[in-house]
Amino acid sequence: MTTPDFAGGPTIPVPTLYATGQKVSAPVLRGTVSDAVALLTTPPVFQGTQTQVSGGQDFLSGTAALVIIDTELYDNWNGHLVTTANSNYYGMLAGWYLVQSQPAIIMSGGTINSTTITQALTGLSVAGGSVTPYGGPALPNAAGQYGQPQAAAKLMKMVNVGARLGAGNDYVQGLAFQNTGATQYMAQVAPNLATLTVRWVAAASGATGLPVPPLAAFPSPPSYVTSAFMNANVVNTVKFLIFPPIMEYYLAGTGQTLTSISSLPGTGQTISLDMGTVDNEGGTYSSGTWTAPVSGVYYCYGQVAISCSTTSLSGAAGLTITSANYNGGATFTYWPGNWQASAAAVTNCFPVRRRLRLNAGDTVSLAGSQHDSGGSAKNLLGTGGTECRLITIWESV
């Protein structure tokens, strides 16, 4: 049981199966039901931004740097401390967190042209060690505009928790990168604001293979509430909701390329990811295809990272969906709009995110496309800071 940073806060429930004929005491119910309600109605969530750094935080060219988060919009578990000297969010409860970070840099001065980018990144420190950065969306820069790519998304596991600012506590942070050749500054005027969002999505471990909570009505007298009913509708419901299906796979190997095409296709080229960060239902991702283990609404995020050349023009990431809920059941790729312009001769990373209502057995794959003026294929990027990635999180029935 994990103690949060504030007195009397929720803990992770530890439900146990009921035996036939067992008398259910109030403490047992509190440990199963009350703890679950308390946690699931107030899971750790944080959102912050930057508004107070005089003149806007400066960002040197060519180095990924911490984004200062000095203004709290929401922090129900007190995992963040408002100070320009420390912009980390410390894990207060063990588990998996969805971390999303988005910079907003004012582009003024320097060599701002088709070869420069601004990139959103997330970072994780385990037990207070060095921060490991994970590259996200990268946007070509333009003079007089904001370097504001879509937010980078990453699933991160924090298990050394409960002590904000503790030397051995896990923490996460947002980072940003730009390569204009000159120092740039963070914007601080809405809606162009840097943000960091963190939310707890699942316990660090738990039961697998459970069905979506059946939401069955309790028996009415003279019928009895049996142990089987309690196990199916209370115990397993709690176990499912604190450890719902989550998945993240990424590309670690090399050798995959993305063919050049002249327009977005109805079904994009599938990118086969080969390394799992987490797949708590086990085997839901295989050979480039993720299969929904249960029905429900899923948060889905994908990114396609490619090494662009001087002839690169544009690219896109998509989600290839096969579900009776979409397109009459025929497979298609959801693209978030049209092409995204690419910056030449640097790493580009194109994002896609969408909530999908899926049935058990429906499939989703990460798709990509790119257009090169010479028709050349481009290398897909694996481990090395910025890689192709797919995330799915069950959120509701």
Mean pLDDT computed over 46-68:
91
Would you say how long the chain is, in residues? 397
Cis peptide before 219 (omega within 30 of 0): no
Task: Report the C-alpha gap between 110 and 143 in whole angstroms.
Answer: 9
Q: How far apart (Å, rounded) are the C-alpha atoms in residues 382 and 274?
A: 9
CATH 2.60.120.40 fits domain 246-396: yes
What's the confidence (pLDDT) of residue 352?
Answer: 98
Of the candidates 92, 98, 61, the one whose C-alpha atom is nearest the C-alpha of residue 77 is 92
Collapse the DSSP code of 41 into the 3-class scheme (helix H, G, I; strand E, B; otherwise coil) and give the result. Answer: helix
CB 118 within 8 A of CB 147: yes
Residue 268 confidence (pLDDT) above 90: yes
Give pLDDT tens digits for 231-267.
999 999 999 999 999 999 999 988 899 999 999 999 9
- What is the reported pTM? 0.95
Q: How confident is the model at residue 7 (pLDDT cuts 50, 70, 90)?
A: very low
Q: Where are the domains of the chain?
A: 1-42+209-242, 45-202, 246-396
Model confidence at 309: pLDDT above 50:
yes
Assess contact for 98 and 84: CB atoms under 8 A.
no
Beta strands 378-379 and 289-291 are unpaired
d(CA 15, CA 238): 7
Average pLDDT, the chain: 92
45-202 to CATH, choices 1.10.10.10, 1.10.1760.20, 2.60.120.40, 2.40.30.10: 2.60.120.40
pLDDT at 3 over 70: no
Tell how far CA 145 is from the center of its chain: 27
CA atoms within 13 A on the CB side of 286: 7
* pLDDT at residue 250 in the model: 97
Tokens linked to 166:
């503790």
Rounding to the nearest 10 degrees, give the CA dihedral for residues 6, 8, 10, 12: 100
Pair 240, 270: CB distance under 8 Å:
no
- Could you say which DSSP state residue 262 is in? S
- Burial (CB < 10 A; 0-12, 13-18, 19+), residue 4, is buried
The reply to whether domains 45-202 and 246-396 share a CATH topology is yes
pLDDT value for 2: 39
Q: Are 212 and 7 in contact (CB under 8 A)?
A: no
Instruction: Label residue 83 by pLDDT band (50, 70, 90).
Output: low
Query: Could you report the per-residue pLDDT of 321-345, keeping only the tens digit for each?
Result: 999 999 999 999 999 999 999 999 8
Mean of the pLDDT values across residues 355-370?
98
Q: Percent of the chain scored above 70 by pLDDT?
A: 96
> Taking 50 as the threshold, does the pLDDT of residue 113 lie above it?
yes
* Residue whose token pair is 């984004």: 67
Predicted confidence band of residue 191 (pLDDT cuts 50, 70, 90):
confident
19/322: higher pLDDT: 322
